[in-house]
Amino acid sequence: MAEAAAQESAFETAQSQLRSVAKLLDLDPGIVEVLAHPKRELTVNFPVRMDDGSFRVFTGYRVHHNEARGPVKGGIRYSPLVSLDEVRALAMWMTWKCAVVNLPYGGAKGGVIVDPRSLTAGELERLTRRYASEIDILIGPNMDIPAPDMGTDARVMAWIMDTYSMHRDYSVPGVVTGKPVEIGGSLGRYEATGRGVLYVAMEACRQRGISLEGATVAVQGFGNVGSVAARLLAHAGAKVVAVSDSRGGVYNPNGLDSDSLYDHRRSGGLLVSHPRSDFPHEDISNAELLELPVDILIPAAVEGQITEANAGRLRAGMVIEAANGPTTASADAVLAERGLYVVPDILANAGGVIVSYFEWVQDLQSFFWEENEVNQRLQRILASAFQQVTAVAEERGLRLREAAYVLALRRVVEAIRVRGIYP
Ligand code: NAD
């Protein structure tokens, strides 16, 4: 308990990031208070019938942080560690993320306290449909458009889309993104966040004057984001030397076979169960992975992994934050002091929400694009956002994180200003 209390919570990190950038921008304290709190929060406790006939009650959340720039958008997380505090932080980060890449959205997030791996497919479907019914009052293509996050995937999005549509008696594909392509999903959405990490890494390497080809990479978290990022970075010529999931990781200074690991993960396997004889490696813990001497470290698991305790021991040349909030505010201060180059989460992992936006646009128009077009537009938006953030950083002598926040906050505050405070 004492340890948990001492640790900085995700929402504390998010609030302290907001307040420090608000100072830089000399924002009206009233507006800062508006932004420091989510606009609305829904907690739902709901029963699900289990396969053995018993009922279990689950708790879920949906939080809208700010909708000044448009309908709100954000993923749904299934994890035993979900909490209202975490969902609030993730919703706030979505507001900044959408603003920094200039999408016409505000921020939201949702979650259910559950280990999805402990449920059967039937139980997961019933849980998802009931949760979707409970948050139905908040979601919709003009209001709040959920997407996948940790522990959820295209199948879960299909159930949410179907449940919402059943309640209305017609199909509403635009209510969620990250759906299967058969029901209005976008080509390229599955890979979008990891692909975005690749594009951001290309920009970062260009800016730092280092070659991505041959650069060594360690990736913490081998899920949707981490596994795609590792594979695409390897295809781009980088040398992925270490990857990990919740049970630990594998390391080979000469490079791992990212394709084989990717296929293994897509077939549902954890890294610890990968057929060991396939590739030479040594086992490594998550803590060890973070401290490897690599050119690029990519945290792509959960928040709060780079802490005040280990920030001083990082030996990476740069950090690209694929996860949301992987660095606590106090750890970030240590990284700043050390002058470590960090591409912040709200920019580095924005590829997912950018292609989600493309999916929503395609659904609203019932007109679908080719994958090439999706990827090219994704790269254009990310490269342009990266350059805008860099320009703010140079102009004001800031790190990329502060610069990204400055850009995002300016846009959100301007939207609030021109709309005015109701009534
Ligand atoms: P996922 O559930 O597909 O994968 C998560 C991975 O992290 C798994 O390999 C899991 O084993 C591992 N993991 C979990 N806890 C861990 C721990 N304590 N230490 C090490 N590894 C751990 O989730 P995802 O969709 O890949 O999301 C990963 C991160 O990226 C999250 O922070 C999420 O919010 C963020 N993100 C996801 C998307 C998206 O489109 N899916 C978009 C933007 C940001």
Residues 6+ positions from 261 with CB-CB distance below 8 Å: 222, 227, 230, 243, 250, 271, 274
How far are the Cα atoms of 68, 319, 322 from residue 326, in angstroms, in the given order? 26, 10, 8
Direct distance between the N- and C-terminal alpha carbons of the chain, in angstroms, rounded to an integer: 44
What is the number of other CB atoms lying within 10 angstroms of the CB of residue 255? 16
- Quick: pLDDT tens for 48-96: 999 999 999 999 999 999 999 999 999 999 999 999 999 999 999 999 9
pLDDT at 277 over 70: no
Residues 6+ positions from 241 with CB-CB distance below 8 Å: 216, 217, 218, 251, 252, 253, 254, 255, 256, 292, 294
Q: Whose CA is nearest to atom 39 of ligand 1?
A: 149
Tokens of 84: 């209202």
Tokens of 74: 């954000």
Segment 94-114 shows an average pLDDT of 98
- Quick: pLDDT tens for 294-351: 999 999 999 999 999 999 999 999 999 999 999 999 999 999 999 999 999 999 999 9
Q: Whose CA is nearest to atom 31 of ligand 1?
A: 323
- Quick: pLDDT tens for 160-197: 999 999 999 999 999 999 999 999 999 999 999 999 99
Domains of the chain and CATH, by start: 38-181 (3.40.50.10860), 192-348 (3.40.50.720)
Ligand 1 centroid from CA 88, angstroms? 17
- SS3 assignment, position 296: strand
Ligand 1 centroid from CA 80, angstroms? 13
- SS3 assignment, position 395: helix
Q: Whose CA is nearest to atom 34 of ligand 1?
A: 324
- Quick: pLDDT tens for 115-142: 999 999 999 999 999 999 999 999 999 9
- Per annotation, catalytic residue among 39, 97, 109, 179: 109
109 has catalytic annotation: yes
* Contact residues of ligand 1, CB 6 A cut-off: 148-151, 193, 220-226, 244-246, 286, 300-302, 322-324, 349, 352
pLDDT at 5 over 60: no
Ligand 1 centroid from CA 195, angstroms? 15
How far are the Cα atoms of 26, 174, 284, 317 from residue 294, in angstroms, in the given order? 38, 41, 15, 6
pLDDT for the residue 6? 55
Report the predicted TM-score, pTM, of the whole model to 2 decimal places: 0.96
pLDDT at 418 over 90: yes
Q: Whose CA is nearest to atom 3 of ligand 1?
A: 223
Query: Which pLDDT band, with edges at 50, 70 and 90, does 274 fall under?
Result: confident
Residues 6+ positions from 57 with CB-CB distance below 8 Å: 45, 46, 47, 48
- Probe residue for ligand 1, chosen from 101, 191, 224 as the CB with the greatest number of ligand atoms within 8 Å: 224
